[in-house]
A and B are shown apart, each in its own frame.
Chain A
Amino acid sequence: MNSKSRSRTIVFTTFLFMIAAGIIAVGLGSVHISVPEILKTIFSTSTTDQYYTIIWDIRLPRVLLALIIGANIAISGALLQAVMGNPLADPGLTGVTSGAAVCVLLIMLAAPEYTQFIPIAAFAGGVLAATIVYSLAWRRNGISPITIILSGVAVNALCGGVIGYLSIIYSDRLPSAVQWLNGSLAAKGNNALFMVLPYAVVGWILSFFAIRKVNIIRLGDQVASNLGENVNRIRIVLSLLAVFLAAISVAAIGMIGFVGLIVPHMARLLVGSDYKYMMPMSMALGALVLLLADTGGRTLFAPLEIPAGILMAVVGGPYFLYLMRRRTF
């Protein structure tokens, strides 16, 4: 019982941290805004405050977007790790992200008049990539860590090739897509926020309803089926949910790697592997990590801005190597 109340406290504290970091991040930038000013502007009804436009149109949407996408990718990683029974599974390494990216890029470059279909295209691309990885990695007794990484490499290479090809034949339209390809939250504003928010909320609700099923399949396929669960159906539904969360994130801000790998791992270290705590922990921590990456990227080297995706890759790559060395999978 003791460790449970401890886990609960850690999750709660992380959520508080996340909110505090969000408020502070709104204040950071070329124009510095103090916390009381931020709170005053957010909670006042007047639209003539000095910082109204900066906060409501630029900073706050960006911060919220970072929090939402971070939470999405982390939950997606946590789900994939449970479904594949493998702590190295993450939407980036398994090719889900690049599968979604190919389809988004295809619309952005080849059919820019259909941008409203970007989220659906991203989902379709993610599902396709996940299906390929599954069929390559599946063995009779489950999925081994090595085959999942190898099939991820194959799918990522394939998608990388397609992305390269698209950027050559549509090189005239490429500049608009470069920011997106690198996973940047710059200049996204309220449009991206309102595009992703409803999908994200649906995804979160479904994920939280799935917690018990996730915990049951972690006991192993045979035990789960003896407990009266349809293991294959759970696997498919949870995978689709993970792909959905990753795909809408790609649709909104492009490819951001490693959040889905690192965050669930850190969450597991902090609150244990029971998804009742691990899932909300991943959510809060994912939000926090991406917010740090984005805020760091835009303030550390100001006026130069580093896309959050690049910062995540620089930090995430070594962490991944560290995980491989520790052999915690």
Chain B
Amino acid sequence: MFRVNSVSVRYEQKNVVSDFSFHVDKGEIVSVIGPNGSGKSTLLKAMARNIPYHMGSVEFDGTDLKSMNSKQVARKMCMLSQRNEAPSDMTVIDLVSYGRYPHKKWFEKLNSEDMEIVHWVLEKTHLSLYKDRKVSSLSGGESQRAWIAMALAQKPKVLLLDEPTTYLDISHQHEVLELVRELNRDMEMTIIMVLHDLNQASFYSDRIVVVQAGEKVMAGTPNEVMTRDMIRHVYRMDAEIQHIPSEQKPRIHLLSTVR
């Protein structure tokens, strides 16, 4: 449903992403991994049309994104960056309500149907009890959930998450990723996310795309991608890969830096 055809993104005369192609099927969770500065966030932003790409094309259900207006895009997908800040006195329910605006004309008010969606989304993200709290008073994990809830209120087909766990502690990281998996299973939401942690990428993804220096190194299932060679080549680390029969996903144990 999502197809990236040899996209290049240029920044200050340099290619940050070059000739990048991959595709995502409906209902998949796909993670993009790679070292810092490899261009993975840039790629995600280009896919969400937040920054322009100067070559190639991005197709959604066979339609070129460039031929849609920004509201049409907003109804199909939503991207969240690693850190978002709401005005300090905004409540959770107000924040989530903004997700309905792409479906409204500029003078239209939210109706009861919109509020139903908002409440349903709050339920889904386990935030119903927090709806009148200020976003700024929530913990990191709760606030990330509130932003995901806003994105869900947009009713997108695809959710793009740029390092959704970076600023969270371990338990909140899992809380957010469990929510992502739940959304994927219960709502058939397609998820594309940038992750840093290899084990999280392995555990939560159907497929993984590996990026290095703006180019695709490989793509495939966690079992195909998570190899000692890949980790040595891309991250310059020695690692041991453990395949546990009861789990279908490999576990990665990083050992030492390659000299």
Which residues of A come within 8 Å of B, CB atoms? 1, 209, 212-213, 215-216, 218-220, 222-223, 225-230, 272-274
Contacts and interface: CB of A to CB of B under 8 A. Distances in A.
Q: Looking at chain A's contact residues, is the secondary structure mostly helix, strand, loop, or mixed?
A: loop
A226 B79 contact: yes
B154 A227 contact: yes
For the side of the interface on B, what is the size category? 20 to 34
Those 5 A-B pairs whose CB atoms lie nearest each other, nearest first:
A228-B74, A228-B71, A228-B102, A272-B89, A273-B87
Contacts of A223: 84, 150
A286 to B, nearest CB: 21
24 contacts: A1-B132, A209-B107, A212-B101, A213-B106, A215-B98, A216-B98, A216-B101, A218-B87, A219-B84, A219-B87, A225-B49, A226-B79, A226-B80, A227-B101, A228-B69, A228-B70, A228-B74, A228-B102, A229-B70, A230-B70, A272-B89, A273-B88, A273-B90, A274-B94
A1 B106 CA distance: 23
Contacts of B86: 219
Contacts of B94: 274
Contacts of B87: 218-219, 273-274
Given A226-B50, A227-B154, A273-B89, A212 B70 contact: no
A74 B89 CA distance: 21
A223 B50 CA distance: 10
A222 B50 contact: yes
B21 interface: no
B88 A226 contact: no
B70 A219 contact: no
Contacts of B150: 223
A272 B136 CA distance: 14
A228 B73 contact: yes
A233 to B, nearest CB: 10
Given A225-B70, A226-B48, A274-B94, A212 B106 contact: yes
Contacts of A274: 87, 89-90, 94
Nearest to B106: A212
A273 B95 CA distance: 13
A180 B17 CA distance: 57
B129 to A, nearest CB: 16
